[in-house]
Structure 1
Amino acid sequence: MNSSNEEKVAHPPLPDTIANHLLDLLANDDAFRAVFAADPHAALIAAGLTDKQADAALLGPSCLRVSSLASKEAIADARDRLKHSLTSEGAHTVVFCFDDKA
């Protein structure tokens, strides 16, 4: 088996209520979207995570870090898939989840 340095780092799944709130904000709230793009840690706390949970959510190559945030429409259209990804066990390293460069 590979050492832990070679394994993908996973963050804990987000609670359903937080994932729903985060997706609502990303699909509708321009001010929140600006914060998310500039400081995802602060945005995740604003969406309801604790400081420790936000740190864990951003660990490693998290899909919650973006270079350019996808449009509100794209997030709304992909909501079910995004929610499944955010609330499921897994590596959460699909770097294009919220990125419009995908």
Structure 2
Amino acid sequence: MTPGAVVAGGLAGPWSAGAETPTGELQPWDVSPGIEGFFAFFALAAVVVALGFLVVRQMRRVDQNARVRAAQEAKERSEADGGAGVTEAEQDAPRSTEAE
């Protein structure tokens, strides 16, 4: 069977030129996606949820790595200054605006 014959006869189906359109009322099962559509939509939803979990996990890793890197850089800066740098606790402590 040649490729042209397959398209003309088999795969074109009722949508080929010259096919008559059905006359009559369409039934809900004629136009619904059926169980295949449900499974396809469910699989798509499962993939989206899984990707969401993976993205959240990756963002947490990136955030943790940034914290570790910032702490390491602060430690290296304080060691380079001879230990006279401001500690993290001193940076976070509230400062008094009153002159003593």
Alignment TM-score, normalising by the size of structure 1: 0.17
Larger CA Rg, structure 1 vs 2: 2
Question: Which structure exhibits the higher relative contact order, with contacts defined as CA atoms closer than 8 Å and separated by 6 or more residues?
Answer: 1
Alignment TM-score, normalising by the size of structure 2: 0.17
Higher helix share: 2
